[in-house]
Structure 1
Amino acid sequence: MPYRFAIIGCGQIGQRHAIHAANYGQLVAVCDIVNEKAAAIAYKYGAQMYSDPDQLLKDGNFDIAVICTPNGLHASQSIAALSAGYHVLCEKPMALLPEDGRQMLLAAEKNGKRLFVVKQNRFNSPVLLVKDLLDRNALGRIHSFQLNAFWNRDATYFKSAPWRGTLSLDGGPLFTQFSHFIDLLYWFLGDLSSVLYASGRNVQHEGLIDFEDEGMAVLAFRNDVRGTLQYNLNANGSNMEGSLTLFGERGTVKIGGSYLNKIEHFAVDGMVMPELTPSGAANDYGAYQGSMGNHHLVYEALVRTLDDPAQYFMDPKESLKTVEIITNIYHVMRSVEGIRK
């Protein structure tokens, strides 16, 4: 019997999830406080429509709750769904505070349910290549990195939904736009040791957002791996670059493109650049583009893992690490100097 999905949050990412939920199982229910959004998806897929998440959880005619609401609601709604006896697939970020993320893990353990967090960029073929190189120590000791994330999020984007740009529901660019990039730093390099420096400022979105639109940080990871992060929402016209370069004793590689979807530099001792499966398209939301559209691979991994727990789907503890790294960066940035105008 196919798994039954219910989507909570029927905005743009919820619409994307609806496609895959219907393809990899049955989409039986959708919920949004804006009735028109829920009704559109419900009509398309023959799902039951709700405007109250509590009522959806109470009715209980599904197996997996898919959380696609604003960032600041992810933790509380995931905990409610896990506590009501459902598996949860939560969009990134899993939470805006590490303690909230830990409570999500506890709720899953206490209720014997699985918590999955969307990290679709881990399925990018260039990302998988570099992960394999690291696992085989082909690059030797990694000593430094450079992470660039230069995207476009203009006034129209932030005005399109009231939660966008708010500290309580959005959280900032490192949570909303660039958490996938931070996740890969952890996946590649392990635990963060310290934030050596962090600075951010709002230069083009005054009066629109509660946080920075550009920032930078110097980070130290385990084994004394150090590097810099630079990010920006002010790339003119469209997204420009999403890249991660690793410098090792026996190799240097750069994953580039706009969405970590290309190998732009490959110099590894004794190796020729392998041929990769072409990357798919980024998630296209009309007025702007997001990260890579690999959500179908997330659903494939989810179904495999539920069918056979021995199969691997990213441990949610790894997603918590992303939240902890971002929180540490923002702690230094916001408490030491604030967001400069």
Structure 2
Amino acid sequence: MSKLKVAVIGCGSISKHRHLPEYHQNDEVDIVALCDIVTSRAEAMQELYGGTVYTDYEALLKNETIDLVSVCLPNALHAPVSIAALESGAHVLCEKPMATTKEEAEAMIEASEKSGKTLMIAHNQRFVRSHQKAKELIAEGAIGKVYSFRTTFGHGGPEGWSVDGENSWFFRKEDAVIGAMGDLGVHKADLIRYILGEEFTDVSAMVETNAKEGITVDDNAVCLLKSASGVIGTLTASWAYKVNENNSTVIYGEKGVLRLEDDPDYSLIATYTDGSKVNYELGKIQSNAEGKQTTTGVIDHFVEAVLTGATPLIDGQEGKKSLEIILAAMESSQTGKNIKLS
């Protein structure tokens, strides 16, 4: 069987560290095209992985026969480029947040349905072993009824990771639209929905820009969430954790507590009301730090979904539900009101 032809649009850090190496390691695909408005970035990736270099995604989609497209661009471009790729007949893996408005997300889903092509959103936290194990434990009733949670994603900011450093698009409202909440908060919104297997009905938040000078997006947020069954908890996203990254989640239930990515040695610790405790060593979570790059599982899952015709774990509808929590948090902060989600 011939290999699937891949194009990666946007050759910044997420492509360099995640998408391209993971496509390269997958035997089912060939990287045939790379696109970036900065030619040298695409050429640097071409030296490693081959493929034709483009600076215009429309020219790429017109000139190449592509099976799979990764959209690794600033948030404001996620929807238009994903829609164009779907309409060209390609399956699309789009970075998170999938879009910057509910309407954009719906247009992406519609383009996927119309074209009959797969749309997947790259929420990699669902593939972390500790997160998957916690979901299993909760589903089988190990900690009984879940009462509350706290989930956090914070680090020193994208300047240490983004290809443009302090001049990164992440800090500009016209490109990013949403700051730390779009970068980190949406990960945790998706994760807590996944682990609990529940949707959220109420969102209240305080979203601030109080840590970085000269940026036009949020960099610190604390949100209160309530689920359909009445589970309440906090979601925190921050670019102001300057010493240590925090990517932890703690879930409190009637029979025990699950601590995920909250300990240096054990990725999941389950402590029960009967006095028992289980420490799980399930491998390290993804980190942006040098030397800590592990395979996310996102690319392999996307390729397999396309090959088998299965619905991916995070399709457009799933991406949209996670985005809506973030959009509600932004609205809550602006209006000072609790926002109801349908």
Shorter-chain-normalised TM-score: which range?
0.7 to 0.9
- Select between 244-253 and 157-166 the one with higher mean Cα deviation: 157-166
Deviation per CA, 1:23-80: give whole Å up to 9, x if none.
2111000000101101111222221000110000001322101101111111110000
1:274: Cα distance to partner? 6.2
Write the deviation string for residues 124-157 of structure 1: whole angstroms up to 9, x where unpaired.
Answer: 1110111101221222211211123331117666
Aligned with 2:336: secondary structure?
helix
Matches within 5 A, 1:113-128: 113-128=117-132
Residue 163 of structure 1: CA displacement?
1.5
Partner Cα distance (1:175, 1:261) in 2: 28
Structure 1 residues 149 and 264, CA gap change in structure 2 (3 angstroms): farther
Q: Which runs of 5+ in 1 are unaligned?
A: none
CA distance in 1, matches of 2:265, 2:205: 23
Q: Deviations over 1:84-138 (max 9, x none)?
A: 1111011111111111111111000001101111121111111011110122122
Inter-partner Cα distance in structure 1 for 2:75 and 2:235: 22
1:104-143 aligned within 5 A: 104-143=108-147
Answering whether residue 247 of structure 2 is matched by residue 242 of structure 1, we say: yes
| Matched residue, 2:257 | 252
2:102 counterpart of 1:103? no
The match for 2:317 is 317
1:187 CA drift (Å): 1.1
2:271 to 251, 256, 266: 266
Counting only pairs closer than 5 Å after superposition, residues 83-98 of structure 1 correspond to structure 2 as: 83-98=87-102
Q: Secondary structure at the match of 1:283?
A: coil
Matches within 5 A, 1:1-341: 1-16=2-17, 17-24=19-26, 25-153=29-157, 159-170=165-176, 171-189=178-196, 190-195=198-203, 197-207=204-214, 209-239=215-245, 241-257=246-262, 262-267=267-272, 273=278, 275-279=280-284, 282-284=287-289, 293-295=294-296, 297-310=297-310, 312-336=312-336
Give 2:206's aligned amino acid. S
Q: List per-residue Cα deviations over 1:271-301 (Å, max 9, x = no partner).
A: 7526443226523369xx8xx7433x11221
Unaligned runs of 5+ in 2: 338-342
Deviation of 1:249 after TM superposition, in Å, equals 1.5
CA-CA distance at 1:309 after TM superposition = 2.2
In the superposition, relative to structure 1, how do residues 216 and 125 fare at CA in structure 2: closer, same or farther (>3 Å)?
A: same
Give the letter for the 1:218 counterpart. L
**2:123–2:187 contact (8 Å) kept in structure 1:** yes
Report the Cα offset of residue 268 of structure 1: 6.4
State the Cα distance separating 1:237 from its structure 2 match.
Answer: 3.7
Question: Could you tell me which amino acid in structure 1 is paired with residue 211 of structure 2?
Answer: Q
Letter in 2 for 1:231: A
Distance in 2 of aligned mates of 1:53 and 1:21: 19
Between the two proteins, the alignment pairs up a number of residues equal to 329
- Is this contact kept in 1: 2:256–2:270, CA < 8 A? no
Identity of aligned residues (%): 29
Task: Note if contact 2:83-2:108 (Cα within 8 Å) is conserved in structure 1.
Answer: yes
Q: State the 4+ residue runs in structure 1 displaced beyond 6 angstroms.
A: 154-158, 258-261
Q: What is the letter of the counterpart of residue 256 of structure 2?
A: G
CA contact (8 A) 1:39 1:49 kept: yes
CA distance in 2, matches of 1:258, 1:58: 49
1: CA distance between counterparts of 2:74 and 2:13? 11
1:151 and 1:321 map into 2 onto residues whose CA distance is 25
**For the structure 1 residues 303 and 259, does the alpha-carbon distance in structure 2 shift closer, same or farther, using more than 3 Å as the test?**
farther
Query: Hey, what's the Cα distance between the residues in 2 that align with 1:193 and 1:45?
Result: 45
SS at match of 2:224: strand
Give per-residue Cα distances to partners, 1:203-237, cap 9 Å, x unaligned: 22132x22332221221111111112233221224
Matched residue of 1:102: which SS? helix
Q: Using a 3 Å threshold, how does the CA distance of structure 1 residues 285 and 9 change in structure 2: closer, same or farther?
A: farther
One-letter amino acid of the structure 2 residue matched with residue 144 of structure 1: S
* Partner SS, residue 301 of structure 1: helix
